[in-house]
Amino acid sequence: MKLRISLITLIIVLITTGVAFADSGEPQVEETQGFVTSTLMQLSGTATETDRIATTINDGYQNGPNPPAPPMVPTSVIYSGTYSERTIADQGLVSFARTMKYDTAGMAAENQYNLVTDRLTEFIGSDTGRMTSEESLLLDGASTGLDTTYSLLCPFATQSDDDIIPPFCNIVEEGSSVDITIGSLSTQSSERFIMLAAPDPDEGEQTGYGMAWPWPVADPGVEANYNVKLTGFGDIAASGTTTAYLNVHVQEGRVVDFSNMDSLYPKAEDLVYSELTTTTGEITLFQKTMNYKSQFTGPAGTYIHNT
């Protein structure tokens, strides 16, 4: 007996805000890059598409012999973001449409993203036809704490010169895979982790770089979104196997403790979340929407100074 599966996974939202949760993002470099690609294919036969992008960006801060990371020195930030997609549609009717937009400029609002992808793939295989597709999104950020004076526009998020965005080390992974003989697959993804750069007016030439030290304007928050949907054609169901997943590891602090040199960045929270959804058979609908957002809203943490 053939099994028809209709599965809708409601929106999975992991939002991190407040003093125990605070991704700051990374300040943009002075020269930014951006590109846009678009791919359209319609054919009978075999089609392949492979896309990969990886970005690592840090604030370039060095203290004596120490590199930016590791080890990370006070008020350091580093981020890595990756995206990959590989599709092979073999022996069948193939329709493929895809766009990608990427920009390393600092994002100033919540509806702006460094990475945006959108694709639609339709496949009707022959007797031996098959389409496999994998897509993944990763965002990894760490910081030893930042001064809120230069990183937050909101005047109510900070109350004193000792207020900080606490240290953090957060990573999120989202993605999907399919192995089908017939079906219509659509996915969308977006990612924001590069922010506008705000110079420190108190440092100026003292940094040794000939410019004020850049801080990320953290108000928009760090965000990663992924959506996947698989359907058939009219009364004909999709056939095969689908998988979608979300993995998150959040580690957050409350203070930067300079009064105890053995515990400069004490960890206050450790959160691990994972989710995996899989279907196999004749699938009338498979849909999953995932969102990760980490935004600082205050009240701020504090520096504990040496006494």
DSSP string covering 4-54, please? Answer: EEEEEEEEEEEEEESTT-----EEPPSS--EEEEEEEEEEEEEEEEEEEEE
Is residue 306 one of the residues assigned to a domain? no
Least confident range of 154-158, 163-167, 246-250: 154-158
Is residue 219 one of the residues assigned to a domain? yes
Is residue 266 one of the residues assigned to a domain? yes
| Structure token digits, residue 41 | 């294919």
Least confident range of 37-46, 136-145, 263-272: 263-272
Which distant-in-sequence residues (6+ apart) come within 8 Å of 61 by Cβ?
Answer: 68, 73, 75, 76, 213
Neighbours of 267 (CB within 10 A): 14
Is residue 16 one of the residues assigned to a domain? yes
pLDDT at 20: 40
Q: What percent of the chain has pLDDT over 90?
A: 59
pLDDT at 8: 53
pLDDT in tens, 101-156: 999 999 999 899 999 999 999 999 999 999 999 999 999 999 988 888 778 877 76
Q: Which residues of 74-101 are buried (b: 16+ CB within 10 A; e: fewer)?
A: ebbbbbbbbbebebebbbbbbbbebebb
Whether the pLDDT of residue 299 is over 50: the answer is yes
Is residue 307 one of the residues assigned to a domain? no
Is residue 98 one of the residues assigned to a domain? yes
Q: What are phi and psi of 151, to 5 degrees?
A: -110, -10
Is residue 58 one of the residues assigned to a domain? yes
Q: Stretch 75-93: mean pLDDT, rounded?
A: 95
pTM: 0.87
pLDDT at 153: 79
Is residue 252 one of the residues assigned to a domain? yes
Q: How far apart are CA 266 and CA 262, in angstroms?
A: 9
| Structure token digits, residue 111 | 């509806």
Residue 70: cis peptide before it, omega within 30 degrees of 0: yes
Share the mean pLDDT of the chain. 84
Higher pLDDT, 127 or 21: 127
Q: Stretch 199-221: mean pLDDT, rounded?
A: 66
Highest mean pLDDT of the ranges 150-159, 164-173, 226-235: 226-235
Inter-residue contact 300 to 23 (CB < 8 Å):
no
What is the total count of domains within the chain? 1
pLDDT at 64: 53
Segments forming the whole domain that contains residue 59: 4-297
pLDDT at 19: 38
Higher pLDDT, 76 or 1: 76
